[in-house]
Structure 1
Amino acid sequence: MRTEQKSLQSGFRPETTAQEVIQGHDLRGKVAIVTGGHGGIGLETTRALASAGATVIVGARDIKKAQEALASLEQVEIIRLDLADPSSIDEFADVFLQSGRALDLLILNAGVAFPPAIRDERGFDVHFAVNYLGHFQLTARLWNSLKRSGNARVIALSSIGHLSGPLDLDDLHFTKRPYDKGASYGASKTACSLFAAELDQCGQAHGIRAFSLHPGAILSGLARYMSDEELAAAGAKRNEDGTYTSSGGFKTAQQGAATTVWCAVSPLLEGKGGVYCEDCDIAELLSEDSPLQHGVRPWAVDPETARKLWSISEELLQIPHGTFN
């Protein structure tokens, strides 16, 4: 059963913060994994979940940096995770699986944005490899732990970048056309939305529901590959200390994490899934030619495209068909 892509009138606003969303929720006894949960909106997500009593496992490439960022938080564990390295993903999963714990929340937050044309050792486009395929592999490895929960949610961070256009299933790694970092980023985020749509279909029988979301425009470390000219066009600038300032239109990290946390805990989403969310609500489904800079376009939630992408992903990652049964 598919959930309608229609607002639930949640009562929250674009300015709502993660701490406002988590207020009143008790997550004691719950276990969450947050990839990249030590910086930007990932850090605010970790803070919110931990403040409600959840045990949060953070996947981080830089353990020292993660330890420094998370030092003040209780019930937070750190395991090394490099989403560009399949062996690192397997090692992360093995460490968690050895604990024998059920997994209640899997938040696929980490990502890369707008680097130059880079390919991993497999020849995969880095956007697609890190933002999407790495999380696909991780979810497959953790599937049994999610099933053990009986009431798990998987949350994939997509982006308004999906507006760049439909996914080209015949050229996912830009081998047949010139590389465009905006199109590459957008494609990877469209893939994340499609992943959540199909994952929700696979997981419903096991009490697993999946959601994708646009956190809003955030000035964070993801902007490090953007030139000063690109930042200026977006209404922002890079300061000498590596921070950013803007003339408006951007959310804070606390506001950016709010929709992730809402997808993780909102009772309004019980029995629902497979939808794209923004501003702490299910986003509006708009026409393909809509000029608006919000909502979700049909190509990012299309069931047929989601199924095709799923099959391609299993083949690329050599994941046996039926793993998600």
Structure 2
Amino acid sequence: MPSKQVPIGSGNKATTTAEEAIGDADLRGKVAIVTGGYSGLGLETVRVLSNAGATLIVAGRDPDKARSRLAGLPRVEVRPLDLLDRASIDAFATDILGTFTRVHILVNNAGFMGAPLKRDARGYESHFSANHLGHFQLTARLWPALCRADGARVISVSSRGHRMAPVEFSDMQFEHREYDRLIAYAQSKTAQALFSVGLDARGEGLGIRAFSVHPGSIITDLSRHFSDEELRAYGISRNEPHRFPAGQSAGEGGDFKTVEQGAATQVWCATSDQLRGMGGVYCENGDIAEVTSPEDVFRGGVCPWAVDPELAERLWRISEELSGASLGS
């Protein structure tokens, strides 16, 4: 079977902004949920979708902070959600299903990177639990509303960091191997990409399409677990313009992206007619990415281990078992 991972010549590029990516899309009457939608990429995604007419539900662990940051945006509601807490996810989904008949866009945006070893109440490693399992459970619980949307899209924010590690099925929870916070993050981002492959296979016949995205390299709150000294080791400063070394380009000309540019790909995947009839693909720079070898972590494209349908099915079965969630349950 030919690979779906073939660029379509969208016309977007690394410097395209979210506002440019959404174009003149009219989202009036549409309901969108964005996890972690009150900072960084999530906030910009909410702003652009709201300005296009959508009703937004922003889900996060700090509702008061969210309301403060989202003040002034029309049709934006805030609901509490802790992706490390199974009961919190169920409560959020029950609230949404009791309020909205349909959900047209779900952006699984929240997450964290490079945290010290921490486990949730079930003993699951926190990157894998929050970045992947939490969103898996959330999507499964919201499935009835997605099915009723007559054309929903589910966007999961992955990362170029997936190139550092596949899902280690023999020890996903770091119970038998030494913990490495970047490998833990990378595994969770591979899992998010595989989740989109598995979800799209199940949703296509119902009009639900799924995409994973690499937003680009951006300095946001995601870097909060790294000290200034650690960032400087990568040639990065929180307070100065950022560039990759020659040949390791994040955006055009080697620059790190702005938040406005970083949110473009997830907004494009959520709204663009160019993707009609497509799904189950990993996207970057506002286009479908090519499959490339994992030899250089800074290189663009997606590794085979993040879009393999057999690995996606294996992860799906395990995720159902670990989360206790299945579509429509």
Q: Is the TM value for this pair above 0.5?
A: yes
Q: Where do residues 139-154 of structure 1 align in structure 2 (5 Å cutoff)?
A: 139-154=139-154
How big is the alpha-carbon RMSD for the aligned residues of Structure 1 and Structure 2? 1.5
- Give the corresponding residue for 2:237: 237
Where do 5+ consecutive residues of structure 2 fail to align? 244-254
Correspondence for 1:287 among 293, 296, 299: 293
Which whole-Å deviations, capped at 9, do the CAs of 1:101-124 have from their partners, x for residues lacking one? 201000000001101111111111
**Does the Cα contact within 8 Å between 2:160 and 2:298 map onto a contact in 1?**
no
Q: Tell me, what secondary structure is at the counterpart of 2:171?
A: coil
**Does the Cα contact within 8 Å between 2:166 and 2:186 map onto a contact in 1?**
no
Tell me, in whole angstroms, the C-alpha distance in 2 between the residues paired with 1:165 and 1:301: 13
Correspondence for 2:267 among 257, 261, 273: 261
Tell me, in whole angstroms, the C-alpha distance in 2 between the residues paired with 1:233 and 1:172: 28
* Amino acid in structure 1 at the alignment position of 2:193: S
* Amino acid in structure 2 at the alignment position of 1:38: Y
Which whole-Å deviations, capped at 9, do the CAs of 1:127-146 have from their partners, x for residues lacking one? 00110000000001000000
Correspondence for 1:318 among 296, 319, 324: 324
**Does the Cα contact within 8 Å between 1:116 and 1:181 map onto a contact in 2?**
yes
- Give the corresponding residue for 1:241: none
**Does the Cα contact within 8 Å between 1:235 and 1:246 map onto a contact in 2?**
no
Tell me, in whole angstroms, the C-alpha distance in 2 between the residues paired with 1:54 and 1:117: 38
The reply on whether 1:274 has 2:280 as its aligned counterpart is: yes
Tell me, in whole angstroms, the C-alpha distance in 1 between the residues paired with 2:74 and 2:295: 47
Shift of residue 62 of structure 1? 0.5
Which whole-Å deviations, capped at 9, do the CAs of 1:207-247 have from their partners, x for residues lacking one? 00000010001111110101222211232224xxxxx4333
Where do 5+ consecutive residues of structure 1 fail to align? 239-243
Shift of residue 3 of structure 1? 6.4
Q: Where do residues 1-325 of structure 1 align in structure 2 (5 Å cutoff)?
A: 4-238=4-238, 244-248=239-243, 249-289=255-295, 293-320=299-326, 323=327
Tell me, in whole angstroms, the C-alpha distance in 2 between the residues paired with 1:301 and 1:324: 24
* Amino acid in structure 2 at the alignment position of 1:183: I
Which whole-Å deviations, capped at 9, do the CAs of 1:167-193 have from their partners, x for residues lacking one? 111111111100001100000000000
Q: Tell me, what secondary structure is at the counterpart of 2:144?
A: helix
Shift of residue 72 of structure 1? 1.1
**Does the Cα contact within 8 Å between 2:17 and 2:264 map onto a contact in 1?**
yes
Q: Provide the identity percentage.
A: 52
* Amino acid in structure 2 at the alignment position of 1:208: I
**Does the Cα contact within 8 Å between 1:203 and 1:324 map onto a contact in 2?**
no
**Does the Cα contact within 8 Å between 2:7 and 2:288 map onto a contact in 1?**
yes
* Amino acid in structure 1 at the alignment position of 2:263: A
- What TM-score do the two structures reach when normalised by structure 1? 0.95
* Amino acid in structure 2 at the alignment position of 1:301: V
* Amino acid in structure 2 at the alignment position of 1:197: V
Provide the aligned length of Structure 1 versus Structure 2.
318
Q: Residues 223, 288 of structure 1: CA spacing in aligned structure 2 closer, same or farther, 3 A cutoff?
A: closer
Q: Tell me, what secondary structure is at the counterpart of 2:148?
A: helix
Tell me, in whole angstroms, the C-alpha distance in 1 between the residues paired with 2:64 and 2:152: 30
